[in-house]
Structure 1
């Protein structure tokens, strides 16, 4: 974070400063901002936020022991370091992030100014963010979230990693309900807003696909005319957001007419290649990342690069060196003699499961078996049964050879596949990961390609690691 005095922080968050003996309101804090006491280091600001299960104030002693220089809390707490009392810790965190980003902007202008991009979509946010981080880090100091820090707490924390040296700030913006992306956009005020896809992820919180569309459109509705909205031309719900924004619109996709377009896509077990068509540039791109759906993420990242006036050819070369989208996202692992494990179980929506299954079918060669290990797709609410049923039928249509469904919540995948009489494959429903592991270890053979896919809550990412002997 940029250097701020205690009094400046108090003013920004609208709180009451409580000083212990020996401290002054003029004292400066420069450390990281954290909500997890385990991540606190010397000089950090610790936001002791209340949670559904516990209260951050319980972890103040641990935060102070780890070096916290300031605690922000909603109620009095004994800390031995300065404390700022606020009415709402989440609002205070947002206010601090908004001010810090604004001050960095104000400190520089011209070619050296801070560039901010916001990325949202039902799928692909984290992968696109990671691609952009790789591209931009090659060009200058870049801040981007670790993991999926994209909600009302994680996104501001990520923004607060910025300082006066930061050239590029990449903000991943997720939402579980209406208004959340709008709030994050109001904090970061992106120069560029990217919308990847509108799908059924978190459909329960949005009330269906049109509610999801409205929430994702919040990325571009408040952008000024000086900003750029980068939209997926292939998704009609996203493409239609051009009518919702005053910003200049640029599109990407496979569709003719997109400014950043891919043709001649080829997916193999070693990666994904395509021909990139960008303004003033046509070239072959060979990604080491697995899956046709990552072509769209790459196009989005390259669109930002090009629209910021950066070298797209150099950016494409950087992308060719990226070895994986993210831990537990289409991560290719060695499952033992002749067995390939694709661990893609960090999250799952109907669209991402369909994309992963398509990739599995594409890369399984003659004489090999495709094995899909599927768990629950969470947060679908009233749509859960139909969407799990649709995935089961897709397994059959893609002629996946073996299906192992894990957990009762995903049983409709198993049931739907089993009802398809034309299918020569096999399906099995098992109660948990341990049972799935036992079945797979007994059945897997040389040449098998195994996809492990579920929402994070189902825990199958650990099953994927276990099948490949990964311990960390």
Structure 2
């Protein structure tokens, strides 16, 4: 009986270790499989949680001879309960078991089994159980160790995929590659440009947020066909050299920079590094190409471009090559005119907000350069659907308007979203936000400013989570915002429950940012 109980304890702890490793893999995946970023997240987590202290207590009990049968039964019960809870927990961004994730998970489990097996083989199965529980407690470090072990394998696999993608591109002699980057706005611009260019060309774009080298490579290998004549390639970056790496692969002829702003400062450190990285796209263009860049951002306007023809654009007429006039927000559409290149192009769109109009302008400039007729542009713009979670608006059956700006908020984007909310004059204006992240040393400052901006626009404020709570509240207090109009929610679910209590027909709710699971 004791031997069976010992075996069951070992198997229960093996299962629990697997669940712990799965969670750590999920967090590592959200940190781009980079141990440095993952370790920074780990340092922000409290080790002394009830769950972790429970594991330590069980490990202490298993290491003694105190009531061994009782301790094993308690251990089995607790770890199985925690495992079931781990499986049932819902996350905003679930783990995607890609081939890489699967390889890494197997490596982490194999490393765990090796250590536990050595402990059991050298002594007893009971020691193996203790080793497994210790591994579960130290799961983050086993995951990082497995990630290091797998690096040579991943590099070899990635090189093989890179060479295959390069070979495919070399066979596409008539392909025009358009690179799009920016601190924000690149995904929206990509979708808008794709819809317009489809009026004349066979277009492929990187899907979703496939804006890393491996995402681009996967798109080329799996989706590019001989009949494609335009490839729109979104290019993301977290550090200097990221954009150049993608440009070396795809060799863009046209480059669009939508913004250079203070985002991802945690990794970039300075706005100068952001500028340098985004302009790696322009620097990679051939002299026969074209750069389309947004002069509404000082760190774009002050950057000279001499290696390639350039068209600069702004919302207002500030002397750039293109600007917008006659913006009119109607109930069914936004109407505006793009002015530049000797033309006035009148357009109508379902999109709202100046940031979306700016992104549309970049797409229109590029489309005209590629000789898409004006009527085709007007038709395409009129049928562009709003990109999910990027300042899109919808109305609930109960008559409440929702402005969804939940994806990857930043100081400029948040300001523009609040400007859209300001224009809503019927009913209460409500915001639900956890604040902004990845702003490095300016994190507190910008969330404090956000609090002050919210105070000038909103009738009711819900702050979600603890991460930026203090800074936002300080900004609200600076503007003497009524305390009874502020609701502090630990979770998004709590905020939704409160919203159901206070919202009425005619109200407008702005969802500004939605932090990933790596933030509280």
TM bucket (normalised to shorter chain) is: 0.7 to 0.9
Instruction: Name the structure 2 match of 1:339.
Output: 400
1:308 equivalent to 2:308? Answer: no
Instruction: Name the structure 1 match of 2:191.
Output: 130
More strand by share: 1
Instruction: Name the structure 1 match of 2:235.
Output: 173
Kept in 1, the 8 Å contact 2:325–2:338? The answer is yes
Higher-Rg member (1/2): 2
Instruction: State the Cα deviation string for residues 162-182 of structure 1 (Å, max 9, x = none).
Output: 121001100000111110001
CA separation of 1:442/1:273 partners in 2, compared to 1, >3 Å: closer, same or farther?
A: same
Question: What is the deviation of 1:185?
Answer: 1.0
Instruction: State the Cα deviation string for residues 209-240 of structure 1 (Å, max 9, x = none).
Output: 12111111111112221111111122231133
Instruction: Name the structure 2 match of 1:401.
Output: 459
Provide the C-alpha distance between the structure 2 equivalents of 1:426 and 1:258, rounded to a whole number of angstroms.
Answer: 43
Provide the C-alpha distance between the structure 2 equivalents of 1:205 and 1:453, rounded to a whole number of angstroms.
Answer: 22
1:96 equivalent to 2:164? Answer: yes
1:435 equivalent to 2:497? Answer: no
Provide the C-alpha distance between the structure 1 equivalents of 2:239 and 2:297, rounded to a whole number of angstroms.
Answer: 21
More helix by share: 2
Kept in 2, the 8 Å contact 1:122–1:201? The answer is yes
Instruction: Name the structure 2 match of 1:79.
Output: none
CA separation of 1:49/1:361 partners in 2, compared to 1, >3 Å: closer, same or farther?
A: same
Provide the C-alpha distance between the structure 1 equivalents of 2:503 and 2:311, rounded to a whole number of angstroms.
Answer: 46
Kept in 2, the 8 Å contact 1:349–1:455? The answer is no
Instruction: Name the structure 2 match of 1:139.
Output: 200
Provide the C-alpha distance between the structure 2 equivalents of 1:119 and 1:425, rounded to a whole number of angstroms.
Answer: 44
Question: 81, 100, 104: which is aligned to 1:49?
Answer: 100
CA separation of 1:425/1:395 partners in 2, compared to 1, >3 Å: closer, same or farther?
A: farther
Question: What is the deviation of 1:57?
Answer: 12
CA separation of 1:164/1:434 partners in 2, compared to 1, >3 Å: closer, same or farther?
A: same
Provide the C-alpha distance between the structure 2 equivalents of 1:297 and 1:458, rounded to a whole number of angstroms.
Answer: 29
CA separation of 1:458/1:311 partners in 2, compared to 1, >3 Å: closer, same or farther?
A: farther
Provide the C-alpha distance between the structure 2 equivalents of 1:130 and 1:333, rounded to a whole number of angstroms.
Answer: 19
Provide the C-alpha distance between the structure 1 equivalents of 2:518 and 2:331, rounded to a whole number of angstroms.
Answer: 25
Aligned residue runs from structure 1 range 34-433, under 5 A: 48-49=99-100, 54=105, 87-105=155-173, 113-160=174-221, 161-243=223-305, 245-254=306-315, 255-267=317-329, 270-324=332-386, 326-362=387-423, 364-365=424-425, 367-397=426-456, 399-411=457-469, 412-421=471-480, 426-433=485-492
Kept in 2, the 8 Å contact 1:159–1:169? The answer is no
TM-score norm. by structure 1 comes to: 0.75
Kept in 2, the 8 Å contact 1:159–1:188? The answer is no
Provide the C-alpha distance between the structure 1 equivalents of 2:376 and 2:107, rounded to a whole number of angstroms.
Answer: 44
Question: What is the deviation of 1:75?
Answer: 10
* Range with bigger deviation, 296-305 or 160-169: 160-169
Question: What is the deviation of 1:423?
Answer: 6.9
Provide the C-alpha distance between the structure 2 equivalents of 1:215 and 1:195, rounded to a whole number of angstroms.
Answer: 11
3-state SS of paired residue (1:199): coil
Provide the C-alpha distance between the structure 1 equivalents of 2:310 and 2:351, rounded to a whole number of angstroms.
Answer: 28
CA separation of 1:90/1:442 partners in 2, compared to 1, >3 Å: closer, same or farther?
A: same
Instruction: State the Cα deviation string for residues 317-374 of structure 1 (Å, max 9, x = none).
Output: 21111121x1222232333422111122122112211111111112x12x42111111
Kept in 2, the 8 Å contact 1:338–1:447? The answer is yes
Provide the C-alpha distance between the structure 2 equivalents of 1:38 and 1:409, rounded to a whole number of angstroms.
Answer: 26
3-state SS of paired residue (1:409): coil
CA separation of 1:229/1:204 partners in 2, compared to 1, >3 Å: closer, same or farther?
A: same
3-state SS of paired residue (1:338): coil
CA separation of 1:200/1:455 partners in 2, compared to 1, >3 Å: closer, same or farther?
A: farther
CA separation of 1:180/1:55 partners in 2, compared to 1, >3 Å: closer, same or farther?
A: farther
Structure 1: tracts of 5 or more residues without a match? 1-36, 40-46, 59-73, 77-84, 106-112, 461-472
Kept in 1, the 8 Å contact 2:261–2:297? The answer is no
Question: What is the deviation of 1:53?
Answer: 6.1
CA separation of 1:52/1:419 partners in 2, compared to 1, >3 Å: closer, same or farther?
A: farther
Kept in 1, the 8 Å contact 2:345–2:374? The answer is no
3-state SS of paired residue (2:408): coil
Provide the C-alpha distance between the structure 1 equivalents of 2:180 and 2:433, rounded to a whole number of angstroms.
Answer: 28
Question: What is the deviation of 1:268?
Answer: 5.0
Question: What is the deviation of 1:437?
Answer: 0.9
CA separation of 1:209/1:271 partners in 2, compared to 1, >3 Å: closer, same or farther?
A: farther
Provide the C-alpha distance between the structure 2 equivalents of 1:423 and 1:272, rounded to a whole number of angstroms.
Answer: 34
Instruction: State the Cα deviation string for residues 285-339 of structure 1 (Å, max 9, x = none).
Output: 1110121211110010011111122224421321111121x12222323334221
Provide the C-alpha distance between the structure 2 equivalents of 1:459 and 1:138, rounded to a whole number of angstroms.
Answer: 41
Kept in 2, the 8 Å contact 1:272–1:288? The answer is yes
CA separation of 1:178/1:87 partners in 2, compared to 1, >3 Å: closer, same or farther?
A: closer
3-state SS of paired residue (1:261): strand
